Structure 1
Amino acid sequence: MDLLQAVVLALIQGLTEFLPVSSSAHLILVSVFTGWEDQGLTFDVAVHLGTLVAVIVFFRQDLLTMGGDFFRSLTGKGHGPGSRLAWAVILGTIPVGLAGLAFRDVVANHLRDPLILACGLIFFGLLLGWADWRRRGERTVYSLTWKDIVVIGCAQALALIPGTSRSGITMTAGLFMGLSREAASRFSFLLSIPVIFLAGALETRHLLRQPEPVQWELIGLATLLAGISAYLCIHYFLKFIRTVGMQPFVGYRLLLGIVLIWMYW
């Protein structure tokens, strides 16, 4: 791997991890246009670590509140808003964890076709657009009910389908359940923490079984760039959707899906 490849892939991973546009679609397009070889598991683990650190740093105050309330609830001192949100994140992660264990090989071996990716971009993009257009909810993340958690958690499991976008489908479900744009996005980002951690742990497990030479300088740079770009992405995305909404991302998904169909039909 050379410097250009490391920089481009790290920035794409950092920017698209949290936007509702499907990071897998962009990585496929990069490989098509550049012909670069697979970046390897070490690189994947590194950029996932970068994005994980970014979301933890950005939501550090929320996470401290959630953690404190959560442990107080375990000692019988009652539930606060933070503990309920912490439980929502934990329980909302279960469906995608179970789906990942059950269907990981099916997805990896049979659903990586670019046309399936294009259909996922278009269909779930239209669904996001509909949810954003028809709902103007004002509920916050602290108003989540068990029904909300089940719906959003099960929706997150659909992200195994290429082109869906984990952040996109969880935001869509949140909007349908009456959350505000910002609340749906914030819960989606909080849900990403255990998902990214588990995905990175799984990749690390495979990495330990298949040692490969490590270019530490490039890996370190990629981790840093992925983290910085992901942090900035979260910051400006939350500002952007307050006034503009999701429709620009819907249009972008439709265009990207059409491009993939044109390329591979």
Structure 2
Amino acid sequence: MSTFNLLLIALIQGLTEFLPVSSSGHLILLPNLSGFEDQGQIIDVAAHVGTLIAVIAYFWSDVKRAVAGFLRLIRGKVDNQDAFLALCLIIATVPVILFGLFLQLTGLADQMRGIALIGWTMIIFGIILYWADQTGPTMKTAEKWTLKDALQMGVWQAIALIPGTSRSGITITAGRMLGYTRSDAARLAMLMSIPTIIASGTLIGIDVAGTADASAIRDIALVIVMSCAAALLALTLMMRLLKTVSFTPYVIYRVALGIVLLWIAYT
């Protein structure tokens, strides 16, 4: 695979992983629309590792709290906010793990990679995001996250395994429906991505373990570094813009891209 192709994959993954526009959908579309060879699961895992590093770095203070809380959970203690945060993240991750295993075991994961499906999910979930953002109340902050809300957001997050849905987009949608402010809904969505990316990366990594050779190390390193840099840029811009701008620009992009994809798929 050429260096240009690898850079393009890393940039697409990094820029779209945390924006509500579906990174998986864009990565599936790349070989379908460009004629490039499919990047394969090893490169996909590398790109996700890069975005994982980015989100951990950006939300480092929250990550430290969650790790400290997880260590308390192991000892059977849920006696402070850190432990409760860790518990909420675990609860929010369970649905996507179960649904992901179901898709892998049934083979449905490989069947949901069509351009038409991505076009429809881009439009439908973009409109739902717009509705939730415009009508959702803003009465909750991330510090008020509850186990019930974590479970509900986790169920919505599982739907994002359908390409084109957008993991960050669907969890932000759920957060806005539940009454969290734009920035706090995004913050919770980003924190939820950490255990989810770890789980999905581990699942795929086990699948492809042993298939990578020495010549792939350079490609993997390049993709990790570039996707990390792109993800940090996208995260920084989105979190800053959310103080003054709604999610409408992302919705417009989703709907426009969805219409183009449907036109391609059906003509």
Q: TM-score range by the shorter chain?
A: over 0.9
Alignment pair present for 1:147 and 2:148: yes
Within 1, Cα distance between the matches of 2:173 and 2:191? 15
What does 1:132-143 align with in structure 2 at a 5 Å threshold? 132-143=133-144
**Could you tell me whether the CA contact under 8 Å between 1:107 and 1:161 is conserved in 2?**
no
User: What whole-Å deviation, never above 9, does each CA across 1:145-195 have from its counterpart, x for those lacking one?
Assistant: 222112101101111212111111000000000011111111111111111
What's the counterpart of residue 3 of structure 1? 3
1:138, distance to aligned residue in structure 2 (A): 3.8
What's the counterpart of residue 38 of structure 2? 38
What's the counterpart of residue 243 of structure 1? 244
Structure 2 CA distance for partners of 1:117 and 1:80, relative to 1, 3 Å: same
What does 1:171-250 align with in structure 2 at a 5 Å threshold? 171-212=172-213, 214-250=215-251
What's the counterpart of residue 101 of structure 1? 101
Q: Which is further off, 70-79 or 36-45?
A: 70-79
Supply the AA of the counterpart residue of 1:142: E
Supply the AA of the counterpart residue of 2:188: F
Q: How many residues align?
A: 265
Supply the AA of the counterpart residue of 2:142: V
What's the counterpart of residue 161 of structure 1? 162
User: What whole-Å deviation, never above 9, does each CA across 1:25-70 have from its counterpart, x for those lacking one?
Assistant: 2223322332111212321221111111111111111111222244
Q: Which is further off, 230-239 or 253-262?
A: 230-239
What's the counterpart of residue 123 of structure 2? 122
1:221, distance to aligned residue in structure 2 (A): 1.5
Within 2, Cα distance between the matches of 1:175 and 1:6? 35
**Could you tell me whether the CA contact under 8 Å between 1:20 and 1:169 is conserved in 2?**
yes
Q: Per the alignment, in what secondary structure is the counterpart of residue 179 of structure 1?
A: coil
**Could you tell me whether the CA contact under 8 Å between 1:10 and 1:226 is conserved in 2?**
yes
What's the counterpart of residue 65 of structure 1? 65
1:243, distance to aligned residue in structure 2 (A): 0.7
Within 2, Cα distance between the matches of 1:208 and 1:150? 32
Q: Which is further off, 193-202 or 250-259?
A: 193-202
Q: CA RMSD in A?
A: 1.8
**Could you tell me whether the CA contact under 8 Å between 2:20 and 2:169 is conserved in 1?**
yes
1:212, distance to aligned residue in structure 2 (A): 4.8
Q: Which is further off, 19-28 or 47-56?
A: 19-28
Within 1, Cα distance between the matches of 2:204 and 2:75? 34
Within 2, Cα distance between the matches of 1:199 and 1:237? 24
Within 1, Cα distance between the matches of 2:118 and 2:167? 13
Within 1, Cα distance between the matches of 2:3 and 2:92? 38
1:209, distance to aligned residue in structure 2 (A): 4.9
Within 2, Cα distance between the matches of 1:36 and 1:225? 19
Supply the AA of the counterpart residue of 1:19: L
What's the counterpart of residue 264 of structure 1? 265
What's the counterpart of residue 52 of structure 1? 52
Alignment pair present for 1:88 and 2:88: yes
Within 2, Cα distance between the matches of 1:166 and 1:76? 30
Supply the AA of the counterpart residue of 1:132: D
**Could you tell me whether the CA contact under 8 Å between 1:121 and 1:163 is conserved in 2?**
yes
TM-score scaled by structure 1?
0.94
Structure 2 CA distance for partners of 1:220 and 1:87, relative to 1, 3 Å: same
Structure 1 gap segments, 5+ residues each: none
**Could you tell me whether the CA contact under 8 Å between 1:132 and 1:246 is conserved in 2?**
yes
1:78, distance to aligned residue in structure 2 (A): 5.5
**Could you tell me whether the CA contact under 8 Å between 2:91 and 2:147 is conserved in 1?**
no
Within 2, Cα distance between the matches of 1:88 and 1:225? 31
**Could you tell me whether the CA contact under 8 Å between 1:159 and 1:169 is conserved in 2?**
yes
